Amino acid sequence: MSYSFNAEKTANDVINWVKTYFEKNASPSTYAVIGISGGKDSSVAAAVCAKALGKDRVIGVLMPQGEQADISFSHLLVDTLGIKSYTVNIGETVSTFMNELEKHIEPSQQARINTPARIRMTTLYAIGACVGARVVNTCNLSEDWVGYSTKFGDAAGDFSPLSDLTVTEVLQIGDYLGLPKELVHKVPIDGLCGKTDEENLGFTYAELDRYIRGLTDLSDKPELKAKIDRMHANNLHKLQLMPKFEYKA
């Protein structure tokens, strides 16, 4: 299969899409609020919004959990784009909640991983409610494909500029937009066990992206294909509307 990606065209298409979304779904004074991690997705999504709406209508929110060793990347992005920002440390909130939960039940590893992400999304919506804003979803297609996101956490949002683009494509758009290399190509780390995202997944984004775009069928790696297909099937619930009972009179 022949497949080519035009970063310039796609970047302009995404910028125009965001502009149109706000024209149709918001007032001229509505902000875009985005969580800033200093990684590729928040960097590119924030840059797209700044170009679509103007930097004065984009608010970045830094949400460290206690001490964050790489928070300088988040500050670099905010300074590079010239956008307003708030820093809301969620450390005490997470600790208080988990301590209260422990009084009733032993928190699972899944609960410890997902709760901070959901508190961060709650923070974004709280700020959005204060200033009048739409919350940016920063997920990309690759991570969504295998469920590498938290339902009602980073998987939430009001609009999603990058969720139809693979990691490889997001990186190319970031480079086209002229963002600092250390932001676009920062190695994603989960911040919990010290492993990179790719180490946790067990395969590279390059392999996954080629499979998603039909550039390989992974016939030479049947175990990898089966793993990716299994992860995709198991995590579709994160992408689909909530199932509901349909009443018929």
Domains delineated in the chain? 7-238 (3.40.50.620)
Q: What is d(CA 185, CA 182) in angstroms, rounded to the nearest whole number?
A: 5
pLDDT value at residue 195: 79
pLDDT value at residue 99: 98
pLDDT value at residue 2: 61
List the chain pLDDT tens, one digit each, 249 residues. Answer: 567 899 999 999 999 999 999 999 999 999 999 999 999 999 999 999 999 999 999 999 999 999 988 899 999 999 999 999 999 999 999 999 999 999 999 999 999 999 999 999 999 999 999 999 999 999 999 999 999 999 999 999 999 999 999 999 999 999 999 999 999 998 877 665 567 889 989 999 999 999 999 999 999 999 999 999 999 999 999 999 999 999 999
pLDDT value at residue 187: 85
Neighbouring residues of 249: CB distance < 8 A, sequence distance ≥ 6: none
CA torsion 91→97→101→102, rounded to 10°? Answer: 40
pTM across the whole model: 0.94
Q: Are 60 and 80 in contact (CB under 8 A)?
A: no
Neighbouring residues of 240: CB distance < 8 A, sequence distance ≥ 6: none
pLDDT value at residue 1: 53
Phi-psi region of 51 (alpha: psi -120 to 50; beta: other; left: phi over 0): alpha
Bridge partner list, 159: 136
Question: Which residue's entry shows tokens 């349909």?
Answer: 246
Question: Which residue's entry shows tokens 């007032």?
Answer: 27
pLDDT value at residue 69: 86
Q: What is d(CA 90, CA 94) in angstroms, rounded to the nearest whole number?
A: 6
pLDDT value at residue 192: 57
